[in-house]
Amino acid sequence: MIIEKNYNLKNLNTLKIDTIGKNVYFPETENELVEILKNNKNVKVLGNGSNVLISSFNPNCDFVITSKLNEIIFENENTIKAQTGAYGAQLSKLAYEKGLSGFEFLIGFPSTVGGAVYMNASCHNQFTSDNFFSCLVYDIKNDKQIVLTKDDMQFDYRKSILQFRDYIVLNATFILNQGDKNQINEIMNRNLEFRKTRQPSLKLPNAGSIFKNPQGDSAGRLLDLSGVKVFSVNGAKVWENHANFIINENNATSIDILKLMELMKNVVYDRYKINLEPEIEFIAGINEEENKIWTNLKSKKED
């Protein structure tokens, strides 16, 4: 297993935040991942580094990168088992080749399986939970591996039990439905076209949607009507084509991103009295100002 010391994480997060991880592990087996988690209680697990903002200021943890845990196997004609670091887009392509429907929405996702399950990733009315059967996780607190079924997962919009327990996904199993390959391909192409026109490509460093949609509404709509597309903080800028995306236009730091998020949240609240909740995760560092901003972003504003 490769272990890097004082390793730059810029190319391991889709926002391209320039920051240093003191110890960065690249496990090649699930057992190696478990050993790291067992022996290091201060470590964060990253897949593709999407949907996450890492502090530019000495992240106070070590990191595990799951890119080598990417095995995908078909257990039978419609059951797929994938390791935590497997890419969602690869799952989508393999399902299509087998004429299986349910993963069309993953075709343009930068997320890995672990991240998709963690946040119940979704798009175009398809959710990760729709075809989820079970996952094997490592329970850090109790030092054991356990299997969680769909009923155990407490799936909801952008939520799962993984966000509230010390569980790390090792692999996940999905049961898909037989479908028409032409129709599956049509849906995948439509989804790709939607992402090209409505969401920035990773050539423009971004973390995906910044805020969750409030119930019955769209964060992008509220932000757009609030005029945030002209907002920027140093190298961080709201994307001109969709107001719920921030791009790292010119070597933005984590505090630039957080300050911009705070401006966006405040203007929507001032206009609509709606509290936007961050969709991205934040891995904190030693900067007290940005940690305070994150606390404010996670809390509800009240008049």
- The residues assigned a catalytic role are 158, 209, 279
β-pair partners for 25: 3, 64
- Give the residue carrying structure tokens 């001032």: 270
Cβ neighbours for 69, distance < 8 A, ≥ 6 positions apart: 27, 28, 29, 30, 33, 83, 84, 85, 86, 170
Distance of CA 63 to the CA centre of its chain: 16
